[in-house]
Chains A and B, each alone.
Chain A
Amino acid sequence: MSDPVLALQAAFYTALSAALSCTVYDAGSVEVDAIYPYLVFDVVEAQPADGLNTLNDVVRVYMTVWSKIGDRSQVQEVIQQVYATLHQQRLTLTAGRNVRCQVIRRSTAPDIAGELFSGSITVRALIDR
């Protein structure tokens, strides 16, 4: 795996799968009969860190937690686990180097049908190519 962005996502997957009490899926791979709660990697977006430096990328990873518990408690618990696992951490990558990860956004919201709760987490990571 020579792409640091892919390596970062793989490192996130490994770290979160080990730390969370729920299943971690990539976008599009959620099983029909997935057991709640679960976490999905929705979008991974990489940009050059600035206009001059092509050696660093800022990667933002957008994730969602889905829960069938009718209040925020379970979603917040998973979000807290993600925060504890990734915030201000430096993950080991198979390509490139992770300078720092920061959880920059955490939110929870009820589903439109009122049956589910979902939570959104955004992690910003700086990587050296």
Chain B
Amino acid sequence: MPVTGGRAVAAALRRYPEIVRQEVEEALQRAAQLVLEEMRRLTPIDPSSTTHARDALTVAFQESGLTAKVGLTTAALTSDFFWFRFLDLGTKGGEVRYRVRGTREVRTMQTPARPALHIRERAMDLNRDDVERLIRAALADALRRGRR
């Protein structure tokens, strides 16, 4: 008995990698946005200041579209909003030395001992279920699209 439809199956299988990539890329964008919003919510602001680390938090995607970096995504932002590190990781208190970007000048500042807020870790933990659900749904959608 002749078996037919082999070409259609092969064509469908060839389409899968691209379909999966498209679906997962979209899901990852939504997931990264969820984590970003949570990070912004968890990042306190200083009412006496006009610049807030919260406003500098962004999402940057690598060229593949399948890797997202959430937070202070460039070296310049990390330098400009250096105190985000103190909020996220906490401080021991006392004198802190730091270098001004683009110069060799080293400054010092006094910081109080502050508990770490674990902003990045908590943002991931609080959204882990939703991120997994989005990616699972994207994979299921990709399989459905590939069958058509």
Contacts and interface: CB of A to CB of B under 8 A. Distances in A.
Interface size on B, as a range, is 10 to 19
B96 A120 contact: no
B121 interface: yes
B20 interface: no
B96 A113 contact: yes
B113 A30 contact: yes
Contacts of B85: 112
Among the interface residues B89, B96, B117, which one has the most CB atoms of the partner chain A within 10 A? B89
Contacts of A111: 92
Interface stretch (A11-19, A58-66, A75-83, A90-98): A58-66
A109 interface: yes
Given A62-B122, A122-B125, A42 B117 contact: yes
A112 B82 contact: yes
Contacts of B89: 64, 109, 118, 120
A40 B115 contact: yes
Contacts, number: 56
Interface size on A, as a range, is 20 to 34
Chain A interface helix/strand/loop/mixed: strand
Contacts of A22: none
Contact of B115 (A43, A60, A122): A43
A43 B92 contact: no
A118 B26 CA distance: 36
A35 interface: no
Contacts of A32: 93, 113
A27 interface: yes
A65 to B, nearest CB: 11
A113 B122 CA distance: 25
Among the interface residues A41, A43, A111, which one has the most CB atoms of the partner chain B within 10 A? A43
B10 to A, nearest CB: 43
Given A64-B89, A113-B97, A122 B121 contact: yes
Contacts of A66: 92
A68 B69 CA distance: 30
Interface in B89-148: 89-90, 92-93, 96-98, 113, 115-118, 121-122, 125-126
Interface string A29-60: 01010000000111101010000000000001
A44 B42 CA distance: 14
Among the interface residues B85, B113, B126, which one has the most CB atoms of the partner chain A within 10 A? B113
Interface in B19-47: none
Interface of B: 82, 85, 89-90, 92-93, 96-98, 113, 115-118, 121-122, 125-126
